[in-house]
Amino acid sequence: MDLELDGNVALVTASSRGLGNASARALVREGANVVINGRDETTLEEAAADLREEAAGEAEVVAVPGDLTSADDIETLVETPIDRFGRLDHLVTSAGGPPSGPFLETDDEDWYDAYDLLVMSVVRLCRAAAEPLAADGGGTIVNITSRSVKEAIDSLVLSNSVRMSVIGLEKTLSLELAPDVRANAVLPGSHETSRIRDLIEQAIERGEYDSYEEGLADWGASNPLERIGDPMELGNTVAFLSSPKSGYINGQSIVIDGGSGGSNL
Ligand SMILES: NC(=O)c1ccc[n+]([C@@H]2O[C@H](COP(=O)([O-])OP(=O)(O)OC[C@H]3O[C@@H](n4cnc5c(N)ncnc54)[C@H](OP(=O)(O)O)[C@@H]3O)[C@@H](O)[C@H]2O)c1
């Protein structure tokens, strides 16, 4: 299926690795020009080179280093596709993950940091991008959050709590920015990215697993599909939600977890 994204322009945040990177890759494969981001410039440049190879000259990849907790960096991020391509058609928001651990081990600073990273970054990105997205025939927003908004996950109190705000924002934007801009969210279960590798390492430190392989097998074992996800399985969904082929999907939160969630809806 041609997703009709050829020549479009997308900004994908936190995309030097992980789910953001998989989303950028899926968009590039469809011929979209992408602006990617991350804090570490070396990792970001390597990711840009890799995506350019993937694009094989059919799409452009622009790397913009920046911290999503900085309002100034976000302003630069949103200005870049306008300056470079004269338009912005798709915004895909991802970010790093908050630290894991039980509630009684979190302090005020942890909560404010998680709010800054996971919520204020999306607020600022959507506010700055709303007008350019609405121009030139309209656009899309896809917010990458977590299945933790549907079902609380053990030892992830910050994710379980703070991410709910992004869903409230996304649903509101799907009403307020329509019909020019559609807004949806994707709720990943476990996909094998560096984020998951870090969480498994932390679980090893807490004595829950003896090895990475044991942790990975355990995470996969509880899934009906008997494995954790490939990041591209999420990235391809992000590209679909950015495409006119999903033109009547708006204001939805789509779980991509292999069916591991217990909710009927
Ligand atoms: N992977 C999963 O299975 C899974 C499941 C549920 C939810 N999630 C959530 O999905 C999001 C992405 O996870 P992931 O697995 O893709 O993580 P990841 O593999 O660790 O990648 C995170 C990306 O975000 C960038 N980043 C982190 N903090 C940033 C900041 N302050 N400003 C700009 N860029 C930043 C990182 O680059 P730099 O470090 O260089 O900045 C990297 O490119 C996270 O919020 C995570 O909690 C992931």
Domain boundaries, the chain: 9-189+230-253, 192-228
- Crossing angle of helices 18-29 and 194-205, rounded to 10°: 160
Q: Is 144 in the pocket of ligand 1 (CB under 6 A)?
A: yes
Q: Is 18 in the pocket of ligand 1 (CB under 6 A)?
A: yes
Burial (CB count <10 Å: 0-12, 13-18, 19+), residue 148: buried
Whether 32 has a pLDDT exceeding 90, the answer reads yes
The confidence score (pLDDT) of residue 196 equals: 83
Burial (CB count <10 Å: 0-12, 13-18, 19+), residue 102: exposed
The confidence score (pLDDT) of residue 22 equals: 98
Q: Do residues 10 and 32 make contact, with C-beta atoms less than 8 angstroms apart? A: yes
Q: Is 20 in the pocket of ligand 1 (CB under 6 A)?
A: yes
Question: Ligand 1, residues 94, 120, 124: which to mutate, most atoms within 8 A of Cβ?
Answer: 94
137-180 residue pLDDT tens:
999 999 999 999 999 999 999 999 999 999 999 999 999 999 99
Task: Kindly report the average pLDDT of the chain as a whole number.
Answer: 96
Whether 112 has a pLDDT exceeding 90, the answer reads yes
Q: Is 245 in the pocket of ligand 1 (CB under 6 A)?
A: no
**Cα of 18 from ligand 1 centre, angstroms:** 6
Quick one: tokens of 145?
Answer: 């959050």
**Cα of 251 from ligand 1 centre, angstroms:** 23
pLDDT band at 219 (very low <50, low <70, confident <90, very high): confident
Fold entry, domain 9-189+230-253: Rossmann fold (3.40.50)
Q: Is 215 in the pocket of ligand 1 (CB under 6 A)?
A: no
Looking at per-residue pLDDT, the higher value among 219 and 38 belongs to 38
pTM to 2 decimal places: 0.96
The confidence score (pLDDT) of residue 63 equals: 98
Q: Do residues 182 and 250 make contact, with C-beta atoms less than 8 angstroms apart? A: yes
Who contacts 93 (Cβ-Cβ below 8 Å, separation ≥6)? 13, 14, 121, 122, 125, 126, 141, 142, 143, 144
The confidence score (pLDDT) of residue 265 equals: 81
The confidence score (pLDDT) of residue 50 equals: 98
pLDDT band at 195 (very low <50, low <70, confident <90, very high): confident
**Cα of 196 from ligand 1 centre, angstroms:** 10
Backbone CA torsion sign across 150, 151, 153, 156: positive
- Which residue's CA is the nearest one to ligand 1's atom 46? 97
